[in-house]
Amino acid sequence: MIRILWIAVTTLFLGSTWLSAQRMDTMAMHPIQPIAPATVTNQPMVDLGAKLFFDPRLSKSGFISCNSCHNLSMGGSDNLATSIGDRWQQGPINAPTVLNSSMSVAQFWDGRARDLKEQAGGPIANPGEMAFTHDLAITMLASIPQYVEEFERVFDTRVVDIDGVTKAIAAFEETLVTPNARFDRWLKGDRSAITATELEGYQLFKSSGCAMCHNGPAAGGRTFRKMGIVEPYRTDNPAEGRFAVTGRDADRFSFKVPSLRNVELTYPYFHDGAADTLAESVDVMGRIQLGKRYSPQENAKIVAFLKTLTGDQPSFQLPQLPPSSDATPRPNPFD
Protein backbone atom coordinates (compact mmCIF):
# COMPACT_ATOMS: atom_id res chain seq x y z
CA MET A 1 0.00 0.00 0.00
CA ILE A 2 2.70 2.43 1.06
CA ARG A 3 4.75 1.36 -1.93
CA ILE A 4 1.89 2.06 -4.33
CA LEU A 5 1.34 5.43 -2.73
CA TRP A 6 5.03 6.19 -3.03
CA ILE A 7 5.01 5.30 -6.72
CA ALA A 8 1.93 7.44 -7.26
CA VAL A 9 3.51 10.40 -5.49
CA THR A 10 6.80 10.10 -7.39
CA THR A 11 4.99 9.80 -10.69
CA LEU A 12 2.92 12.84 -9.91
CA PHE A 13 6.00 14.77 -8.84
CA LEU A 14 8.10 13.79 -11.86
CA GLY A 15 5.12 14.38 -14.11
CA SER A 16 4.58 17.88 -12.86
CA THR A 17 8.26 18.88 -13.02
CA TRP A 18 8.34 17.52 -16.55
CA LEU A 19 5.25 19.54 -17.42
CA SER A 20 6.59 22.75 -15.93
CA ALA A 21 9.92 22.15 -17.66
CA GLN A 22 7.98 21.78 -20.91
CA ARG A 23 6.16 25.02 -20.25
CA MET A 24 9.41 26.82 -19.39
CA ASP A 25 10.85 25.53 -22.63
CA THR A 26 8.02 26.84 -24.75
CA MET A 27 8.15 30.20 -22.96
CA ALA A 28 11.91 30.44 -23.52
CA MET A 29 11.39 29.80 -27.23
CA HIS A 30 9.39 33.00 -27.50
CA PRO A 31 11.20 36.31 -27.90
CA ILE A 32 8.54 38.06 -25.81
CA GLN A 33 7.77 36.93 -22.28
CA PRO A 34 4.72 37.68 -20.11
CA ILE A 35 4.81 40.75 -17.89
CA ALA A 36 4.73 40.05 -14.17
CA PRO A 37 2.31 42.12 -12.07
CA ALA A 38 3.92 44.83 -9.93
CA THR A 39 4.88 43.92 -6.39
CA VAL A 40 4.46 46.85 -4.07
CA THR A 41 6.77 46.86 -1.07
CA ASN A 42 6.12 50.39 0.14
CA GLN A 43 2.50 51.41 -0.41
CA PRO A 44 2.77 54.80 1.38
CA MET A 45 5.64 55.77 -0.92
CA VAL A 46 3.67 54.67 -4.00
CA ASP A 47 0.65 56.70 -2.82
CA LEU A 48 2.79 59.79 -2.34
CA GLY A 49 4.32 59.27 -5.78
CA ALA A 50 0.86 59.02 -7.33
CA LYS A 51 -0.08 62.39 -5.83
CA LEU A 52 3.09 64.00 -7.12
CA PHE A 53 2.53 62.47 -10.56
CA PHE A 54 -0.90 64.12 -10.71
CA ASP A 55 0.01 67.43 -9.01
CA PRO A 56 0.13 70.34 -11.50
CA ARG A 57 1.52 72.59 -8.79
CA LEU A 58 4.92 71.07 -9.63
CA SER A 59 4.81 73.29 -12.73
CA LYS A 60 5.23 77.04 -13.03
CA SER A 61 1.77 77.43 -14.53
CA GLY A 62 0.12 75.29 -11.88
CA PHE A 63 -1.51 73.55 -14.81
CA ILE A 64 0.86 70.86 -16.10
CA SER A 65 1.43 67.60 -14.27
CA CYS A 66 3.30 64.48 -15.32
CA ASN A 67 -0.13 63.13 -16.20
CA SER A 68 -0.69 66.00 -18.71
CA CYS A 69 1.82 64.42 -21.08
CA HIS A 70 1.72 60.85 -19.75
CA ASN A 71 -2.03 60.56 -19.44
CA LEU A 72 -2.83 57.33 -17.62
CA SER A 73 -6.28 57.34 -19.17
CA MET A 74 -4.61 57.19 -22.60
CA GLY A 75 -1.94 54.52 -22.29
CA GLY A 76 0.46 56.81 -20.41
CA SER A 77 0.97 59.09 -23.41
CA ASP A 78 -0.51 62.34 -24.78
CA ASN A 79 -1.34 61.01 -28.25
CA LEU A 80 0.34 64.07 -29.77
CA ALA A 81 3.21 64.01 -32.25
CA THR A 82 5.20 66.15 -29.82
CA SER A 83 4.04 67.38 -26.43
CA ILE A 84 2.74 70.79 -25.37
CA GLY A 85 4.73 72.37 -22.56
CA ASP A 86 4.68 75.54 -20.50
CA ARG A 87 3.05 78.46 -22.35
CA TRP A 88 1.97 76.13 -25.13
CA GLN A 89 5.53 75.51 -26.24
CA GLN A 90 5.93 72.82 -28.84
CA GLY A 91 7.97 69.93 -27.47
CA PRO A 92 10.97 68.65 -29.43
CA ILE A 93 10.13 64.96 -29.40
CA ASN A 94 7.31 62.44 -28.96
CA ALA A 95 6.44 61.59 -25.34
CA PRO A 96 6.95 57.87 -24.75
CA THR A 97 4.51 56.09 -22.47
CA VAL A 98 5.33 55.72 -18.79
CA LEU A 99 3.69 52.28 -18.78
CA ASN A 100 6.24 49.53 -18.23
CA SER A 101 9.06 52.07 -18.45
CA SER A 102 10.64 50.52 -15.35
CA MET A 103 11.64 47.63 -17.65
CA SER A 104 13.80 49.79 -19.92
CA VAL A 105 17.62 49.81 -19.83
CA ALA A 106 17.52 53.59 -19.45
CA GLN A 107 15.04 56.46 -19.79
CA PHE A 108 14.39 58.85 -22.71
CA TRP A 109 14.75 58.11 -26.41
CA ASP A 110 18.50 58.62 -26.12
CA GLY A 111 18.82 56.94 -22.71
CA ARG A 112 20.27 60.01 -21.03
CA ALA A 113 18.67 59.18 -17.66
CA ARG A 114 19.86 56.00 -16.00
CA ASP A 115 16.59 55.15 -14.28
CA LEU A 116 13.15 56.43 -13.33
CA LYS A 117 14.39 58.29 -10.28
CA GLU A 118 16.99 60.19 -12.29
CA GLN A 119 14.43 60.86 -15.01
CA ALA A 120 11.75 62.25 -12.69
CA GLY A 121 13.76 65.35 -11.76
CA GLY A 122 14.06 66.38 -15.40
CA PRO A 123 10.61 67.57 -16.47
CA ILE A 124 9.94 69.74 -13.40
CA ALA A 125 12.94 71.94 -14.16
CA ASN A 126 12.72 71.71 -17.94
CA PRO A 127 11.76 75.21 -19.23
CA GLY A 128 9.89 73.64 -22.15
CA GLU A 129 7.92 71.23 -19.97
CA MET A 130 6.92 72.17 -16.43
CA ALA A 131 9.25 75.21 -16.34
CA PHE A 132 9.70 75.15 -12.56
CA THR A 133 12.86 74.78 -10.51
CA HIS A 134 13.52 72.08 -7.95
CA ASP A 135 13.80 74.77 -5.24
CA LEU A 136 10.41 76.22 -6.11
CA ALA A 137 8.87 72.76 -6.22
CA ILE A 138 10.22 72.01 -2.76
CA THR A 139 9.03 75.38 -1.41
CA MET A 140 5.59 74.62 -2.79
CA LEU A 141 5.42 71.13 -1.26
CA ALA A 142 6.85 72.27 2.08
CA SER A 143 4.11 74.91 2.32
CA ILE A 144 1.41 72.23 2.32
CA PRO A 145 1.08 70.62 5.77
CA GLN A 146 -0.45 67.37 4.47
CA TYR A 147 2.49 66.85 2.11
CA VAL A 148 4.95 67.45 4.95
CA GLU A 149 3.13 64.86 7.06
CA GLU A 150 3.15 62.43 4.20
CA PHE A 151 6.87 62.92 3.62
CA GLU A 152 7.44 62.28 7.31
CA ARG A 153 5.43 59.07 7.15
CA VAL A 154 7.37 57.83 4.12
CA PHE A 155 10.89 59.17 4.69
CA ASP A 156 10.96 59.72 8.45
CA THR A 157 11.82 63.37 8.10
CA ARG A 158 9.85 66.60 7.82
CA VAL A 159 12.42 67.94 5.39
CA VAL A 160 10.96 67.76 1.90
CA ASP A 161 13.65 67.42 -0.74
CA ILE A 162 13.92 66.59 -4.42
CA ASP A 163 15.50 63.24 -3.64
CA GLY A 164 12.31 62.16 -1.86
CA VAL A 165 10.13 63.63 -4.60
CA THR A 166 11.87 61.69 -7.37
CA LYS A 167 12.06 58.49 -5.29
CA ALA A 168 8.32 58.57 -4.65
CA ILE A 169 7.46 59.32 -8.28
CA ALA A 170 9.72 56.45 -9.40
CA ALA A 171 8.08 54.10 -6.87
CA PHE A 172 4.67 55.00 -8.31
CA GLU A 173 5.90 54.54 -11.87
CA GLU A 174 7.21 51.08 -11.01
CA THR A 175 3.61 50.04 -10.37
CA LEU A 176 2.56 51.13 -13.87
CA VAL A 177 3.00 47.74 -15.50
CA THR A 178 0.40 46.14 -17.72
CA PRO A 179 0.23 42.36 -17.22
CA ASN A 180 -2.37 39.96 -18.54
CA ALA A 181 -2.40 41.05 -22.20
CA ARG A 182 -4.14 38.55 -24.46
CA PHE A 183 -0.76 37.64 -25.90
CA ASP A 184 0.56 36.91 -22.39
CA ARG A 185 -2.39 34.64 -21.71
CA TRP A 186 -1.58 32.85 -24.98
CA LEU A 187 2.10 32.53 -23.96
CA LYS A 188 0.96 30.96 -20.71
CA GLY A 189 -0.97 28.31 -22.59
CA ASP A 190 -4.45 29.71 -23.26
CA ARG A 191 -4.68 28.82 -26.95
CA SER A 192 -7.95 30.67 -27.38
CA ALA A 193 -6.58 34.00 -26.13
CA ILE A 194 -5.59 35.15 -29.61
CA THR A 195 -7.16 34.54 -33.02
CA ALA A 196 -5.67 32.67 -35.96
CA THR A 197 -4.98 35.98 -37.74
CA GLU A 198 -3.22 37.42 -34.69
CA LEU A 199 -1.13 34.27 -34.42
CA GLU A 200 -0.14 34.56 -38.08
CA GLY A 201 0.83 38.15 -37.35
CA TYR A 202 3.03 36.99 -34.50
CA GLN A 203 4.68 34.42 -36.75
CA LEU A 204 5.39 37.09 -39.36
CA PHE A 205 6.73 39.38 -36.64
CA LYS A 206 9.16 36.66 -35.59
CA SER A 207 10.11 35.30 -39.01
CA SER A 208 10.76 38.70 -40.54
CA GLY A 209 13.09 39.78 -37.74
CA CYS A 210 11.09 42.38 -35.78
CA ALA A 211 11.88 40.42 -32.62
CA MET A 212 15.62 40.97 -33.09
CA CYS A 213 15.01 44.39 -31.59
CA HIS A 214 11.56 44.20 -30.00
CA ASN A 215 11.99 41.42 -27.47
CA GLY A 216 11.84 40.63 -23.75
CA PRO A 217 8.80 41.15 -21.53
CA ALA A 218 8.35 44.74 -22.77
CA ALA A 219 8.87 43.75 -26.43
CA GLY A 220 11.55 46.44 -26.57
CA GLY A 221 13.27 48.83 -24.19
CA ARG A 222 16.46 46.78 -23.95
CA THR A 223 18.77 48.24 -26.58
CA PHE A 224 19.52 51.30 -28.68
CA ARG A 225 19.29 50.68 -32.40
CA LYS A 226 19.75 52.74 -35.47
CA MET A 227 16.56 54.11 -37.02
CA GLY A 228 16.96 53.27 -40.70
CA ILE A 229 19.25 50.29 -41.08
CA VAL A 230 18.41 49.26 -44.63
CA GLU A 231 17.06 52.61 -45.86
CA PRO A 232 17.52 56.01 -44.22
CA TYR A 233 14.64 57.44 -42.20
CA ARG A 234 13.67 60.91 -43.38
CA THR A 235 12.53 63.42 -40.80
CA ASP A 236 12.73 67.14 -40.05
CA ASN A 237 13.21 66.40 -36.37
CA PRO A 238 16.74 67.36 -35.34
CA ALA A 239 17.11 64.69 -32.60
CA GLU A 240 20.32 62.72 -33.02
CA GLY A 241 19.52 59.91 -30.63
CA ARG A 242 22.12 58.12 -28.56
CA PHE A 243 24.91 60.17 -30.16
CA ALA A 244 23.83 63.10 -27.96
CA VAL A 245 24.84 61.04 -24.91
CA THR A 246 27.91 59.12 -26.03
CA GLY A 247 29.31 61.41 -28.74
CA ARG A 248 30.24 58.27 -30.68
CA ASP A 249 29.62 58.47 -34.39
CA ALA A 250 28.30 54.92 -34.46
CA ASP A 251 25.47 56.04 -32.17
CA ARG A 252 24.22 58.75 -34.48
CA PHE A 253 20.48 58.33 -35.06
CA SER A 254 20.32 55.38 -32.71
CA PHE A 255 17.23 55.44 -30.46
CA LYS A 256 15.99 53.32 -27.62
CA VAL A 257 13.93 50.53 -29.14
CA PRO A 258 10.47 51.37 -27.82
CA SER A 259 8.39 48.81 -25.97
CA LEU A 260 5.52 47.54 -28.12
CA ARG A 261 3.35 46.91 -25.08
CA ASN A 262 0.06 48.86 -25.35
CA VAL A 263 1.25 50.27 -28.66
CA GLU A 264 -2.38 50.28 -29.81
CA LEU A 265 -2.93 53.12 -27.31
CA THR A 266 0.23 55.17 -27.74
CA TYR A 267 -0.07 56.64 -31.25
CA PRO A 268 1.39 58.56 -32.97
CA TYR A 269 4.63 56.64 -33.39
CA PHE A 270 8.40 57.13 -33.63
CA HIS A 271 10.55 59.70 -31.87
CA ASP A 272 9.20 62.43 -34.15
CA GLY A 273 5.61 61.22 -33.84
CA ALA A 274 5.40 61.15 -37.64
CA ALA A 275 3.52 57.87 -38.07
CA ASP A 276 -0.15 58.30 -37.23
CA THR A 277 -1.19 54.68 -37.44
CA LEU A 278 0.14 51.25 -36.59
CA ALA A 279 -0.21 50.24 -40.24
CA GLU A 280 2.11 53.09 -41.24
CA SER A 281 4.68 52.30 -38.54
CA VAL A 282 4.73 48.61 -39.46
CA ASP A 283 5.23 49.55 -43.11
CA VAL A 284 8.10 51.91 -42.23
CA MET A 285 9.74 49.40 -39.88
CA GLY A 286 9.53 46.63 -42.47
CA ARG A 287 11.10 48.75 -45.18
CA ILE A 288 13.80 50.68 -43.34
CA GLN A 289 14.84 48.20 -40.65
CA LEU A 290 14.46 44.92 -42.54
CA GLY A 291 14.16 45.68 -46.25
CA LYS A 292 10.71 44.05 -46.37
CA ARG A 293 7.63 45.25 -48.17
CA TYR A 294 4.54 43.76 -46.62
CA SER A 295 1.35 43.19 -48.57
CA PRO A 296 -1.70 44.92 -47.04
CA GLN A 297 -2.78 41.51 -45.71
CA GLU A 298 0.56 40.85 -44.04
CA ASN A 299 0.62 44.35 -42.61
CA ALA A 300 -2.89 43.87 -41.19
CA LYS A 301 -1.85 40.60 -39.55
CA ILE A 302 1.13 42.20 -37.83
CA VAL A 303 -1.04 45.09 -36.67
CA ALA A 304 -3.59 42.59 -35.32
CA PHE A 305 -0.80 40.86 -33.41
CA LEU A 306 0.49 44.16 -31.98
CA LYS A 307 -2.96 44.87 -30.58
CA THR A 308 -2.82 41.67 -28.52
CA LEU A 309 -0.04 43.33 -26.49
CA THR A 310 -2.48 45.67 -24.76
CA GLY A 311 -2.52 44.64 -21.11
CA ASP A 312 -4.49 45.49 -18.00
CA GLN A 313 -4.12 49.22 -17.50
CA PRO A 314 -3.02 50.37 -14.04
CA SER A 315 -5.93 50.65 -11.69
CA PHE A 316 -5.66 52.76 -8.59
CA GLN A 317 -7.79 55.30 -6.84
CA LEU A 318 -7.53 58.73 -8.39
CA PRO A 319 -5.37 60.59 -5.86
CA GLN A 320 -6.93 63.47 -4.00
CA LEU A 321 -4.39 66.27 -3.67
CA PRO A 322 -4.01 68.23 -0.43
CA PRO A 323 -5.12 71.86 -0.80
CA SER A 324 -2.61 74.69 -0.95
CA SER A 325 -2.10 76.62 2.28
CA ASP A 326 -2.15 80.40 2.60
CA ALA A 327 1.64 80.27 2.36
CA THR A 328 1.76 78.27 -0.88
CA PRO A 329 3.19 80.31 -3.77
CA ARG A 330 0.51 80.94 -6.36
CA PRO A 331 0.69 79.59 -9.93
CA ASN A 332 2.06 81.71 -12.68
CA PRO A 333 0.57 80.57 -15.96
CA PHE A 334 0.86 83.65 -18.15
CA ASP A 335 4.33 85.10 -17.72
Question: Which x/- pattern, by CB under 6 A, does the window 57-96 give for ligand HEC?
Answer: -------x-x-xxx------------x-x-----x-x-xx
Least Cα distance to 70 among 94, 51, 90 occurs for: 94
What CA–CA distances, in Å, run from 244 to 109, 125, 252, 255? 10, 20, 8, 10
- Full DSSP string of 101-113: GGGSSSBSTT--B
Chain centroid, CA 315 distance in Å? 15
If one asks whether residue 124 binds ligand HEC (CB under 6 A), the answer comes out as: yes
Residue 257 contacts residue 222 (beta carbons within 8 Å): yes
CA separation for the pair 190, 245 (Å, rounded): 43
The residues with which 256 forms a beta bridge, in sequence order, are 224
Residue 130 contacts residue 154 (beta carbons within 8 Å): no
Marked catalytic residue, from 118, 129, 174, 198: 129
CA separation for the pair 141, 56 (Å, rounded): 12
If one asks whether residue 101 binds ligand HEC (CB under 6 A), the answer comes out as: yes
Label residue 280 exposed, middle or buried (CB < 10 Å: 0-12, 13-18, 19+). Answer: middle
Q: Which of 46, 169, 177, 218 binds ligand HEC (CB under 6 A)?
A: 169
If one asks whether residue 98 binds ligand HEC (CB under 6 A), the answer comes out as: yes
Annotated catalytic, 173?
A: no
**By CB under 6 A, what part of segment 233-262 binds ligand HEC?**
255, 257-258, 260
Q: Which of 57, 222, 271, 301 binds ligand HEC (CB under 6 A)?
A: 271
Q: Which of 60, 75, 81, 129 binds ligand HEC (CB under 6 A)?
A: 129
Give the binding range for ligand HEC (CB under 6 A) out of 106-114, 135-143, 144-152, 322-330: 106-114
If one asks whether residue 32 binds ligand HEC (CB under 6 A), the answer comes out as: no
State in Å, rounded, how far the first CA of the chain is from the last one: 87
Residues at the interface with ligand HEC (CB under 6 A): 64, 66, 68-70, 83, 85, 91, 93, 95-96, 98, 101, 104, 107-109, 116, 119-120, 123-124, 129-130, 169, 205, 208-210, 212-214, 225, 227, 229, 255, 257-258, 260, 263, 266, 269-271, 281-282, 285-286, 289-290, 302
